[in-house]
Amino acid sequence: MTTVIKNGTIVTADLTYKADVLVEGGKITQIGPDLKGDEVLDATGCYVMPGGIDPHTHLEMPFMGTYSADDFESGTRAALSGGTTMVVDFALPSPGQGLLDALQMWDNKSTRAHCDYSFHMAITWWSEQVFDEMKTVVQERGINTFKHFMAYKGALMVNDDELYASFSRCAELGAIPLVHAENGDVVAELSAKLLAAGNNGPEAHAYSRPPQVEGEATNRAIMIADMAGVPLYVVHTSCEESHEAIRRARQQGKRVWGEPLIQHLTLDESEYFDKDWDHAARRVMSPPFRNKQHQDSLWAGLAAGSLSVVATDHCAFTTDQKRYGVGDFTKIPNGTGGLEDRLPMLWTHGVNTGRITPNEFVAVTSTNIAKILNIYPRKGAVLVGADADLIVWDPLREKTISAKTQQSAIDYNVFEGKHVKGLPRFTLTRGRVAVHDGEIRPKEGHGEFVKRPANGAVNRALSSWKELTAPRPVQRSGIPASGV
Ligand code: DUC
Ligand code: ZN
Ligand code: ZN
Ligand code: ZN
């Protein structure tokens, strides 16, 4: 059986041109004029683009006393509905749990996925066992990224000695460290102070995590990565302070990437103020939403190339779950949804406004992250031989986002009432048509795990690379020359 996408305009990270695309056996087999196939998908007036890759999701994750409400079934269904054809979720060992043990849990959960997926491995504690298992994770399991939390003190947070040890191990294994960059010690202090002063509502969550805690941690992680000689990927970059550290590092020749979320690009801190408790609590995530200046900085970074990827950190909790934090904002489960809405929101607020081009849209939603994760051009490309993970994007299709019509399992949507223009007419996951004329046709279990081999990239920063690797003079005896 062959499928042909006819009369569309192909848009990749580099090129825009008219051609048909032929799909067979889950792969793109031909690109050119006047192709024929058994099944015909009409792309007249549409863009044919690589399906979105969301490298930052938390599906059915045990967190803050509960589980995130979207699992691999509802989560990947939401993804496909909005044009995302691959997700990378975080396998999260509880401190003390082995990495391979945690991976087994994620293997079990992910069997219901409707689209392809991969995992990042989180390092939530440090030991010889963790050091050893990292090698198996990379070399046998095909996972080349390790995530580190610099916040969530007393739970997931790792300290600087552990960061340096793990980053150095990543360097040996050809893996890339990821960081959630917030200064967890300062967040804990500010939270305690706010609570002691009787400030226990959801807006205090934002006060407890000012941009400085993110800027400091981002800079610290960059410097530690530089000393370990390893690249660094900074998840959910939300503010100018963090963006500035990333920009400076890149300018100095460091291989550092920043990932703003669609939520931070389109929603601001006013969501927390003068709103009812539920409205604000539903938007509690870390880092919190920022003001317009920070938003402008993120948009500018996408246009200038100092920020590389737009993700969601999809971590959805119901209103009932959010209410665990009534009377104590530190108990509100952190997280917001966005999987289904990332592409339409970015198109509407990015491409339709002229902030980014359609080619840049493809770069930041798919191609850049495929390259960073070492799965390009199998993913993130419209090329012969690539997986047929494709979207036929109709720039004239419109809708108003609402929880009533969403795929996600929760009872609200942080983008409720937002009008989007630009939606998938068709979404193909390895050749299978999962969205047909805007209607979702999911298939549980269609998704496969995508192995990501080790990556040869190193951080060749000019600032410290030579200094760290060059032979240095050593006074071997350690005894003063005069003798004592
Ligand atoms: N931030 C969130 O808001 N949720 C999940 C984890 C995280 O870092
Ligand atoms: Zn995080
Ligand atoms: Zn409201
Ligand atoms: Zn996250």
Which of 286, 329, 336 most suits a substitution to test ligand 1, by most atoms within 8 Å of the C-beta? 286
pLDDT of 17 reads 98
User: Residue 336 carries which DSSP code?
Assistant: B
Q: What is the pLDDT of residues 261-301, one digit of tens each?
A: 999 999 999 999 989 999 999 999 999 999 999 999 999 99
Kindly state if the Cβ of 68 falls inside 6 Å of ligand 1. Answer: no
Q: Could you tell me the distance, in angstroms and rounded to a whole number, from the CA of residue 205 to the centre of ligand 2? A: 15
79 SS3 class: helix
Crossing angle for the helix pair 211-228 and 184-196, nearest 10 degrees? 160
Structure tokens at 407: 């795929």
223 phi and psi, to 5 degrees? Answer: -65, -40
| pLDDT-above-90 percentage for the chain | 93
Kindly state if the Cβ of 286 falls inside 6 Å of ligand 1. Answer: yes
Question: ipTM for the complex?
Answer: 0.92
Number of the ligand closest to the Cα of 276: 3
| Count of C-beta atoms within a 10 Å radius of residue 405 | 11
- Rounded average pLDDT over 137-151: 98
Kindly state if the Cβ of 335 falls inside 6 Å of ligand 1. Answer: yes
- pTM of the predicted structure, to 2 decimals: 0.96
**Secondary structure in 3-state letters for 401-444:** CCCCCCCCCCCCCCCCCCEEEEEEEEEEECCEEEEECCEECCCC
pLDDT of 484 reads 52
- Integer Cα distance of 181 and 400 in angstroms: 33
- Integer Cα distance of 360 and 366 in angstroms: 10
Least confident of 206-210, 223-227, 258-262, 428-432: 223-227
Q: Taking the mean position of all CA atoms in its chain, how far away is CA 178? A: 10
- Integer Cα distance of 350 and 143 in angstroms: 31
- Integer Cα distance of 347 and 350 in angstroms: 5
| Count of C-beta atoms within a 10 Å radius of residue 352 | 13
pLDDT of 470 reads 66
Q: For atom 1 of ligand 1, which residue has the closest CA?
A: 286
- Integer Cα distance of 298 and 254 in angstroms: 19
Is residue 27 within 8 Å of 386, Cβ to Cβ?
A: yes
- Rounded average pLDDT over 76-99: 97
**What separation in angstroms does the CA of 174 have from each of 73, 89, 114, 230?**
32, 20, 30, 8
Kindly tell me if the per-residue pLDDT of 234 is higher than 60: yes
- Rounded average pLDDT over 133-153: 98
Residues with CB under 5 A from ligand 2 (ion): 180
Q: Could you tell me the distance, in angstroms and rounded to a whole number, from the CA of residue 298 to the centre of ligand 3? A: 25
| pLDDT-above-70 percentage for the chain | 95
Q: Which of 446, 425, 449, 421 lies closest to 436, judged by CA?
A: 425
Kindly state if the Cβ of 180 falls inside 6 Å of ligand 1. Answer: yes
For residue 110, the number of C-alpha atoms closer than 13 Å in the C-beta half-sphere is: 23
Strand pairing category for 47-50 and 390-400: antiparallel
Q: Which strands sit side by side in the sheet containing 9-11, from one edge to the other?
A: 16-18, 9-11, 47-50, 390-400, 419-429, 432-436, 439-440
Please identify, by atom number, the ligand 1 atom nearest to the C-alpha of residue 151.
Answer: 8
